[in-house]
Chains A and B, each alone.
Chain A
Amino acid sequence: MYEKILLAADGSDNSVRAAKEAAKIAELIPSPYTLEVVYVADFSKAKNDVLHSQGKEELELSRRQKILPIEEALKAKNISYEVTILHGEPGPTIVEHANSEQFDLVVIGSRGLNVFQEMVLGSVSHKVVKRANCPVLIIK
């Protein structure tokens, strides 16, 4: 069974759904496991984030608040987890973390973008599927 699960979360509805599915998988694991909730503070939003918060603490808080619904979903199922906040471009950063820390499974929500949005924004889940060394579960 999976021992190290990475749950990529941005606080969106899709990532909350992903958290619920990750919880279902974690429930089935009999042995000790780690579930790491990874939030990536996007480089391209850094200026905006810093500008709109008065100081480091408020910035930290606003990011923790984003993943609050995910934490609630996991707590509701009594799943133990840890939270990591990384900085970078979401896709490559999740891939690098998943590969260097040798996770067994990546769970990620799909934003469900249309063709045009995908061209402009790029699909994070696609990038993760393409480059991660472990199985990837995309929740739509």
Chain B
Amino acid sequence: MAEKIKAEWFSNIRGDVLAGIVVALALIPEAIAFSIIAGVDPMVGLYASFTMAVVIAFAGGRPGMISAATGAMALLMVPLVKNYGIDYLLAATILTGIIQILFGVFKVAKLMSFIPRAVMIGFVNSLAILIFMAQVPHFIGISTMTYVFVAITLLIVYIVPRFFTAIPAPLIAIIVLTAAAIYSGAKLRTVGDLGNITQTLPSFLIPDVPFTLETLAIIFPYSIALAIVGLLESLLTASIVDDMTGTESRKNKEARGQGIANIVTGFFGGMAGCAMIGQSVINVKSGGRGRLSTFVAGAFLMFLIIVLGDLVVQIPMPVLVGIMIMVSIGTFDWSSFSYLRKAPRTDAVVMLVTVIIVVATHDLSKGVIAGVILSAIFFVAKISKIKVTEQLDKEGISFTVEGQLFFASVDNFIDAFDFSVENKDIVIDFTSAHIWDDSAVGAIDKVVIKYRENHNHVIIKGLNASSQKMVDKLAIYNNEGANLSAH
């Protein structure tokens, strides 16, 4: 145990501390921008990023992954904040945590690996589109100066990293352009216009909501959506970090850890969060591997806010907008365009439907659920294609069945037979088929009995062991005098 703690926390101290500091610097603008998306004070996102990162450093299942306030979660909570206020958001955050812990305990996290990649690609693409759309009101048609600042920010964040990578480029953009805005006196909206920064540590509080079923009914749909989206993004991020570091993570432990982190976050006045793909990649690239890196990221972020809070309120909004545009460009999966051409038609449709539903409803969880259901339907449709080939020989007729026989394919199966023949020997060969359920056995029964009605002799052969067992247990055609009415 002590060995393990040492390996997960202190085996890479220098790399972890440096990477943690880099991530903290990169996190600040995002935490503020996501708070603005959610419609809450910047402190709500900053507190969330602090508590999420610090708690997940201890409770998570993927060392080196960064969790904080995220865009995916912020987008989900917009209507809740707008209609009911911040206290309901905090209550929903706590409930999100409880649901995620349950997901972890009941191993639902494992199930999430079954979510088709078409849905996941749709998920990140629609997330990118929504983050971009959320920026539009902050820069379209405000002032020429706003456009100029957005453009300069984009130039800085895309060109500077080519030559200099020690300090995250977004931070350079913030420092340079905030200074430029203050000295030039340019008329720009600032973070301070949209909320307050308080230079204090978060403190424990119980959300001021009535503890009634009505409250639960309000927050539950949001919490369920937050829990699903949070886990989805966290587990995707965990897989990416797994791949980058060539190590394994514990997915169910991560789900529980996300839950614990959200509960703590809710009680300390933060908004629900989850793992962040972009920040986790920055962390690993900067040399972060262990739990210490995540801890340092959260702790250093809080330290910076306490020290520099006065300056943070002066950050011009167009700079944050520019950084968020960069985030949305980075989130979007640009290979989707070739994916649409190369992937199977049905996968492409699933991906597009996921994106369209999310963009239409502004709810990532709805898109994911629709995508999963649609791909399940496509899957059933695909494997329900059953092939029956007929062959006439001198003794009679033989049929070869190929494919999966189950509720979705029985109709096709039965339609393949012509029951008008009389007094023939009929062989049905199931060597290349599998019998899955009652309706499959029922269909075989129906075929056999119908043939017998016309005085044909039917032989079933080639059933594999489990199919045979199923037929022996359920089929009635072996009974004397069996007829269709028994079904």
Chain A residues near B (Cβ < 8 Å): 41, 43, 46-56, 59, 87, 89, 119-120
Q: Please count the residue pairs between chain A and chain B whose beta carbons lie under 8 angstroms apart in the complex.
A: 45
Q: Confirm or deny: B272 has a beta carbon within 8 angstroms of a beta carbon on chain A.
A: no
Provide the residues of chain B in CB contact with A49, threshold 8 Å. 243
Are A119 and B162 touching (Cβ within 8 A)?
Answer: yes
B339 CB contact (under 8 Å) in A52, A55, A119: A52
Instruction: Name the residue on B nearest A121 (C-beta).
Output: B162
Instruction: Name the residue on B nearest A55 (C-beta).
Output: B113
Are A51 and B243 touching (Cβ within 8 A)?
Answer: no
Nearest 10 CB-CB pairs, A to B? Answer: A50-B240, A46-B244, A50-B239, A54-B117, A46-B240, A46-B243, A87-B246, A50-B243, A47-B240, A87-B244
Are A52 and B285 touching (Cβ within 8 A)?
Answer: no
- Report the Cα distance A55→B246, complex, angstroms: 14
Are B245 and A87 touching (Cβ within 8 A)?
Answer: yes
Are A87 and B243 touching (Cβ within 8 A)?
Answer: yes
Known A43-B284, A46-B281; judge A51-B246 contact (CB<8 A).
no
- Report the Cα distance A41→B246, complex, angstroms: 10
- Report the Cα distance A55→B117, complex, angstroms: 9
Are A47 and B162 touching (Cβ within 8 A)?
Answer: no
Provide the residues of chain A in CB contact with B245, threshold 8 Å. 87
Chain B residues near A (Cβ < 8 Å): 113, 116-117, 120-121, 124, 162, 236, 239-240, 242-246, 277, 281, 284-285, 333, 335, 339
8 A-B contacts (beta carbon < 8 Å): A43-B244, A49-B243, A50-B236, A50-B240, A50-B243, A51-B121, A54-B116, A59-B243
- Starting from the known contacts A50-B240, A53-B117, A56-B239, 19 additional A-B residue pairs (CB-CB under 8 Å) come to A41-B243, A43-B281, A46-B240, A46-B244, A47-B240, A47-B277, A47-B281, A48-B335, A50-B236, A51-B121, A51-B124, A52-B117, A52-B121, A52-B335, A52-B339, A54-B116, A56-B243, A59-B243, A89-B285
Instruction: Name the residue on B nearest A58 (C-beta).
Output: B117
Distance between B346 CB and nearest chain A CB, rounded to angstroms: 14
- Report the Cα distance A50→B235, complex, angstroms: 11
- Report the Cα distance A27→B102, complex, angstroms: 61
Are B236 and A51 touching (Cβ within 8 A)?
Answer: yes
- Report the Cα distance A132→B339, complex, angstroms: 37
Provide the residues of chain A in CB contact with B285, threshold 8 Å. 43, 89
Instruction: Name the residue on B nearest A52 (C-beta).
Output: B117
Distance between A117 CB and nearest chain B CB, rounded to angstroms: 12
- Report the Cα distance A43→B244, complex, angstroms: 6
Provide the residues of chain B in CB contact with A54, threshold 8 Å. 116-117
